[in-house]
Chains A and B, each alone.
Chain A
Amino acid sequence: MNHSGSSNNGIIILDQAVKTYVMGAQDVKALNGVNVSFKRGSFWAIMGPSGSGKSTMMNILGCLDRLTGGRYMLEEQDVGTLDDDALSEFRLRHLGFIFQSFNLIPQLTVQRNIELPLYYLGWDAQRSAERARELAHSVGLGDRLNHRPTELSGGQMQRVAVARALANDPQILLADEPTGNLDTATGDQILELLVALNQQGKTIIMVTHEDHIAQFAKSRLHMRDGVIERMEGETDAAR
Chain B
Amino acid sequence: MRHAKWMRDIHLGIENLLLHKLRSFLTMLGVVFGVGSVVAMLSVGEGASKEALEQIRKVGSNNIIINSVKSVEEETSTTAQVRMSLYGLTYKDHQRIDESFETIKQTVPVKLIREQGRLGERSLELRLVGTTPVWFDLVKRPLSAGRILIPSDVENKAAVAVLTEFGARRLLATRNTIGQNLRIGGINFEIIGIVQSEGGKAADIQLPDQEVDAYIPMDVARFYFGDTSMKQTSGSFELKRVELDQVIVEVDKMEDVEATAKGIETMLGRFHNKKDYVMSVPLALLRQAEATKRTFNIVLGSIACISLLVGGIGIMNIMLASVTERTREIGIRRAIGAKRKQIITQFLIETVVLSTIGGVVGLGLGVFIPLLITFIAGMPTVITPVSIILPLFISVGIGIVFGLYPAARAADVDPIVALRHE
A→B interface (CB under 8 Å)? 59, 62, 64-65, 84-85, 88-93, 95, 97, 99-101, 103-107, 116-117, 120-122, 124-125, 164, 168, 180
A-B contact count (CB 8 A): 66
CA distance A106 to B421 in the complex (A): 16
Of B24-32, B150-158, B222-230, B334-342, the one touching chain A? B334-342
Task: List B contacts of A85 (CB < 8 A).
Answer: 339-341
Task: List B contacts of A180 (CB < 8 A).
Answer: 421
Q: Does B253 contact A (CB under 8 A)?
A: no
Contact of A97 among B4, B336, B421 (CB under 8 A): B336
Known: A64-B415, A84-B340. A99 touches B421 (CB 8 A): yes
Shortest B57–chain A CB gap in Å is: 58
Residue contact A88 to B328, C-beta cutoff 8 Å: no
CA distance A125 to B12 in the complex (A): 12
Shortest B350–chain A CB gap in Å is: 13
Residue contact A117 to B416, C-beta cutoff 8 Å: no
Task: List A contacts of B333 (CB < 8 A).
Answer: 105, 116, 120
B→A interface (CB under 8 Å)? 1, 4-5, 8, 16, 19, 328-329, 331-342, 415-416, 419, 421-422
Task: List B contacts of A116 (CB < 8 A).
Answer: 332-333, 336
CA distance A203 to B55 in the complex (A): 84
Task: List B contacts of A90 (CB < 8 A).
Answer: 337
Shortest A106–chain B CB gap in Å is: 8
CA distance A103 to B418 in the complex (A): 10
Known: A105-B332, A122-B5, A125-B8. A99 touches B337 (CB 8 A): no
Task: List A contacts of B338 (CB < 8 A).
Answer: 88, 92, 120
Shortest A230–chain B CB gap in Å is: 27
CA distance A116 to B5 in the complex (A): 14
CA distance A93 to B337 in the complex (A): 8
Across the A-B interface, give the 8 residue pairs with the lowest CB-CB distance, nearest first.
A92-B337, A91-B337, A101-B421, A88-B339, A103-B332, A105-B329, A85-B339, A88-B337
CA distance A64 to B8 in the complex (A): 28
Contact of A120 among B1, B328, B331, B342 (CB under 8 A): B342
Contact of B339 among A89, A99, A125 (CB under 8 A): A89
CA distance A168 to B333 in the complex (A): 14
Task: List B contacts of A117 (CB < 8 A).
Answer: 336-337
CA distance A142 to B415 in the complex (A): 29
CA distance A88 to B339 in the complex (A): 6
Query: Chain B: which residue is nearest A91 at the CB level?
Result: B337
CA distance A141 to B379 in the complex (A): 66
15 contacts between A and B (CB under 8 A): A65-B416, A84-B339, A89-B337, A89-B339, A91-B336, A91-B337, A93-B337, A97-B335, A104-B332, A107-B19, A120-B333, A120-B337, A120-B338, A121-B337, A124-B4
Task: List A contacts of B8 (CB < 8 A).
Answer: 125
Given A89-B337, A99-B419, A106-B329; 6 other pairs, CB 8 A cutoff:
A84-B339, A85-B340, A90-B337, A107-B329, A120-B333, A120-B338
Contact of A91 among B5, B328, B335, B421 (CB under 8 A): B335
Contact of B335 among A64, A101, A168 (CB under 8 A): A64
CA distance A164 to B181 in the complex (A): 100
CA distance A105 to B419 in the complex (A): 12
Task: List B contacts of A124 (CB < 8 A).
Answer: 1, 4
Residue contact B340 to A64, C-beta cutoff 8 Å: no
Residue contact A88 to B334, C-beta cutoff 8 Å: yes
Query: Chain B: which residue is nearest A124 at the CB level?
Result: B4
CA distance A59 to B416 in the complex (A): 7
Task: List A contacts of B334 (CB < 8 A).
Answer: 88
Task: List A contacts of B1 (CB < 8 A).
Answer: 124
CA distance A99 to B331 in the complex (A): 12
CA distance A84 to B419 in the complex (A): 18
CA distance A100 to B335 in the complex (A): 14
Query: Chain B: which residue is nearest A85 at the CB level?
Result: B339
Query: Chain A: which residue is nearest B334 at the CB level?
Result: A88
Residue contact B419 to A92, C-beta cutoff 8 Å: no
Query: Chain B: which residue is nearest A86 at the CB level?
Result: B339
Query: Chain A: which residue is nearest B335 at the CB level?
Result: A97
Task: List B contacts of A89 (CB < 8 A).
Answer: 337, 339
Residue contact A100 to B421, C-beta cutoff 8 Å: yes
Task: List A contacts of B422 (CB < 8 A).
Answer: 101
CA distance A7 to B332 in the complex (A): 34
CA distance A100 to B340 in the complex (A): 25
Which of B19, B335, B337: most chain A Cβ within 10 A? B337
CA distance A89 to B338 in the complex (A): 8
Shortest B148–chain A CB gap in Å is: 74
Residue contact A62 to B335, C-beta cutoff 8 Å: yes
Task: List B contacts of A84 (CB < 8 A).
Answer: 339-340
Shortest A162–chain B CB gap in Å is: 14
Query: Chain A: which residue is nearest B421 at the CB level?
Result: A101
Shortest B1–chain A CB gap in Å is: 8
